[in-house]
Structure formats: structure tokens, C-alpha cells
Structure 1
């Protein structure tokens, strides 16, 4: 199995050449800050599965000391890209170009979940930006 992915500007491209072991939606305060959203959607596999195709030299990694939290991103457009600093490969689901059929396994760090995130099931939905 080969899954392709890239950053927003296209300078960084990569492949994941293995099955994903886990798919988590992380609600920790660190993931909220580095995504600017309610949670991070990350897939996990072994770090040997990651193959950089282009732009590896444009990948920067921020490590939040003294925690284990880190984020890799394209230094051109800022998009999140795979990270291998903790001995495994964490792949932002939104960075994938290939479709995957896997659904998330679990929500994690829900004790840090944003207050405004609950009770959204009945919220209006639009296929495009509303007018």
C-alpha cells in the first residue's frame, strides 16, 4: 500500500508505504494551538514507512519542551506534514492526497476538549462557503 501526501504549496511531497496502525483525533491543548482548531486528526505508523519525495529540506520541526509534543511543517506555506521525532510517524490526515477508507479509532485527550466543541450535531451544513 502506498499513500501520497503533500503540503498546501506542493513543495513538500511524501509517501507512506505501510498500513496505518492508529487514527486519533487529539483534543489536547497543544494540538488545539498548533492546528488553530478543535483537534488534530493524525494517523500513526512506523517511521520507516515515510518516504520524502520532494522538499524534505523545507520541512522544519518545532519541539515544545519539556513535553513530547512536536509539529513538522513546510517552511514555505506552513502546512503540517509528517513528523517522526518521537520514534514513530505521525501523519496529519489533512495532508493526504490519497483517499483512505479508515475512520478515526478514538478521540484522545478529551479532558482538554474546547467548550464550544460539544453539541454540534444539529449545526447547519453547507457544501461551500455560505453566502
Structure 2
């Protein structure tokens, strides 16, 4: 306040405008970072979404191995690709909500998701080929 009192009216107005704008920009950036790192689904029981497997123990083991391979492939993706897949399939966000979160065009979300799925599939295929050899 002591700085504002020493400025003449034009400088005071400019100072208030620039300070307010910078604070608003910082607030918006901070809020987008918080949204990105907020834990969603604390009250959700994800076990309810897992389909029960009817069948033999071998089928269950194979299914479990496939899930582990998929998880390992997703962990090797870039942060953006991981976040896209998480928001789309775990949080079940719409393409518009994802676009707002990432600051991209809503029409681009489908393409980004396709690339993320392809990258995960390629990583899974490479891992399966290594195991087969």
C-alpha cells in the first residue's frame, strides 16, 4: 500500500490494472494445475467396474497377465497420453471436458486419444514379442 500511495493517479491505475491481470492469470494457471493433479474417484469403488470372469483358472491368469501388460504399457507412455487415457476411461470425462483441461480444441481430443491408444498397443505388442522370443 505504501507504494500505491506514492504513485500519481495514472501510475496507480496502471499498477492496479497490471497487478490485477497478473494475479488473475496466475490464479487460472494454478487452478488448471490443481485440476490436473486432483484425485478423482475417492468415493468410487473401481472394483464394481471390473467384470467378473467366468471360466477356468487359466483364463483368469491370462486375463490378469493382459491387464498387467496393459498397465505396464500405459506407464511407459508420455504424461500427456497417460492423462488423456485416464481422463477418458477412468474418469469418463467427455471430449469437451478433456479439451478444456488440456487447453486444446475439442475436435483434437479424438486424434490425441487415438495416438495414445496406438502407442500403448505398440508397446504391448513389443513386450509380447520379446516374451515370445
Which has more strand, going by share of residues?
A: 1
Whether the TM-score (by the shorter chain) exceeds 0.5 is no
TM-score category, normalised to shorter length: under 0.3
TM-score by length of 1: 0.20
Which has more helix, going by share of residues?
A: 2
**Structure label with greater radius of gyration:** 2
